[in-house]
Amino acid sequence: MGFPKNFLWGGAVAANQCEGAYLEDGKGLSVPDMLLGGDVNTPRTFLPKTDEIAFYPSHEAIDFYHRYKEDIALFAEMGFTVFRLSINWGRIYPNGDDEEPNEEGLAFYDAVFDECEKHGIEPLVTLCHYEIPWNIVTKYGGFSNREVIDLFVKYARTCFERYKDKVKYWLTFNEINIPCMHAGGIGPLYGLGIMEEEDIQSDHHIPLTELKYNLQRTFEGLHNEFVASALAVKLGHEINPDFMIGNMIAHETTYPLTPNPKDVLACMNVDDLHNNFCGDVQVRGEYPSFMWRYFKENGIDTSFITEEDKKILKEGTVDMYTFSYYMTNCVTVDEKAEKIGGNMSMGAKNPYLKASDWGWQIDPDGLRYTLNVLHGRYPHTPLMVVENGFGAFDVVEEDGSIHDEYRINYFRPHIEAMREAIEDGVPLIGYTTWGPIDLVSAGTGQYAKRYGFIYVDRHDDGTGDFSRSKKDSFDWYKKVIASNGEDL
């Protein structure tokens, strides 16, 4: 059987990680513009007052803002039929609460979508990929404030109306479940624009891992975001009934470290909170039962979940379930078990898996498993893998070539796993690899953590001329797409 004929093949980026031009043509500051880079051992830091001397990677990123034509042409050369990108909210509403949208920002995305159309590429657009306008953080308290629901819906309306004939595939919030993933302030800041006042007012660098965290505010904020997302889905369908609007979950598949039933139950709880909770709300339109227990046991007052909101959630369920998949982790009650993981999540080390240089455990079989589990959970919903990829250090040879067979070796079995899942009966409709072109890492703020098939000459010390070149994986992915996933 293999991949269906009209399977969507492509790659995914986020505005803040590729565009740069952070204040150009009327754009306002957004959360990533306030963050400095780190590395695998050093968390990114928040530096409140943008400092002229410090190096903020998102400010120039890879300069996609000025080079999108060249980049989209390279994607087209690889045969992309879909390109996932985000609209930077702060380009459209620079402060998040402006009366009128910024025409220059709107025109930029018109030009990008026109370029995609020229090459026969379908855009898949995320409305908010960790890009909440900074003014919404400081003035409103991010999504913990219900007023932000209306601000987001207004922004969504502007985008839907403007691009209704250019964009069919939409996602509301990137990795909406990130705030549930760890007891640290990164998730609430990235996902919800929530930062405690004391941190906002600070005048020194704060490692993101040390940001203050308030459970009640986090879950209230997440609820408001669910409502905003559901209202946007409903509105989108009114504006164009052909829209396919999805959620987006960071799926961090978990296994019990041992067959000890205590590990199995602990794993179930982590899986429910991290992965299933947000998906259930967005696909089924209601809070899953296990969350009521969680709220009770964690002393969370749930009066913010009103009857009216419950109705909105029911009416705004998504048309497709999309997710990122990079790795799997184990769960155990044994506190002494060795830990491993990235900058945004940690788990117990799986003795059967190898990991990337950033500690992300490589598990292609886990992708087949995940796809089947998701199909079992949401049997009537099409699925799309909208992020998957391998962050690695690349070496440029003297002749300019880049031999990244490690990247090909990561992708090959993951694509095989998707093919197997399709044979299993999973309705998988598309695949966008993360970072088809090198970009700024969200977790570490590094350029050195490269994902691309296309190399960008830009480095963590701010050097480089932004020129693009093809890695070995470029021709390999081109061949994969040309053969519809047969020739790996």
> Which residue's CB is nearer to ligand BG6, number 266 or number 353?
353
40 binds ligand BG6 (CB under 6 A): no
324 binds ligand BG6 (CB under 6 A): yes
Residue of 158, 157, 126, 128 whose CA lies nearest to 143: 128
Helix-then-strand count for the chain, H and E: 17, 16
Q: Which helix (H) or strand (E) holds 256?
A: strand 253-256
> Which residue's CB is nearer to ligand BG6, number 447 or number 476?
447
Q: Which helix (H) or strand (E) holds 479?
A: helix 472-482
Residues 377, 371: Cα–Cα separation, whole Å: 10
Residue range at the interface with ligand BG6 (CB under 6 A); choices 33-41, 276-284, 405-413, 437-445: 437-445
Site mask for ligand BG6 (CB under 6 A), range 239-258, x = bound: -----------x--------
**In the range 391-430, which residues lie near ligand BG6 by CB under 6 A?**
391
442 binds ligand BG6 (CB under 6 A): yes
Single out the residue of 434, 447, 474, 477 in contact with ligand BG6 (rule: CB under 6 A).
434
181 binds ligand BG6 (CB under 6 A): no
Residues 137, 191: Cα–Cα separation, whole Å: 11
387 binds ligand BG6 (CB under 6 A): yes
Q: Annotated catalytic residue: which of 122, 175, 220, 252?
A: 175
**In the range 71-100, which residues lie near ligand BG6 by CB under 6 A?**
none
Q: How many residues bind ligand BG6 (CB under 6 A)?
A: 15
Single out the residue of 162, 449, 458, 471 in contact with ligand BG6 (rule: CB under 6 A).
449
Cα→Cα distances 208→38, 192, 205, 445, Å: 10, 14, 9, 11
Amino acid identity, residue 184?
G
User: DSSP letter at 192?
Assistant: I
> Which residue's CB is nearer to ligand BG6, number 228 or number 250?
250
* 387 a catalytic residue: yes
Residue of 91, 95, 88 whose CA lies nearest to 125: 88
Q: From the CB of 190, what's the least distance to ligand BG6, in Å?
A: 9
Site mask for ligand BG6 (CB under 6 A), range 157-176, x = bound: -----------------xx-
Q: Interhelix angle for 103-118 vs 64-78, to 10°?
A: 20
**In the range 54-73, which residues lie near ligand BG6 by CB under 6 A?**
none
Q: What 3-state DSSP class applies to 261?
A: helix
Residue of 420, 417, 423, 411 whose CA lies nearest to 479: 411
Q: From the CB of 17, what's the least distance to ligand BG6, in Å?
A: 6
Counted residue by residue, the chain has a size of 488
| Sheet with 253-256: strands ordered across | 253-256, 328-331, 346-348, 339-341
Closest-by-Cβ residue to ligand BG6 is 443
* 175 a catalytic residue: yes
Q: From the CB of 276, what's the least distance to ligand BG6, in Å?
A: 18
131 binds ligand BG6 (CB under 6 A): no
As a whole number of Å, the end-to-end CA separation of the chain is 16
Amino acid identity, residue 160?
F
18 binds ligand BG6 (CB under 6 A): no
**In the range 262-301, which residues lie near ligand BG6 by CB under 6 A?**
none
Q: From the CB of 386, what's the least distance to ligand BG6, in Å?
A: 9
> Which residue's CB is nearer to ligand BG6, number 122 or number 252?
252
- Judged on CB neighbours under 10 Å (0-12, 13-18, 19+), 413 is middle
Residues 468, 56: Cα–Cα separation, whole Å: 21
Catalytic residues, by residue number, are: 175, 387
**What residue ranges bind ligand BG6 (CB under 6 A)?**
14, 17, 174-175, 250, 324, 343, 387, 391, 434, 441-444, 449
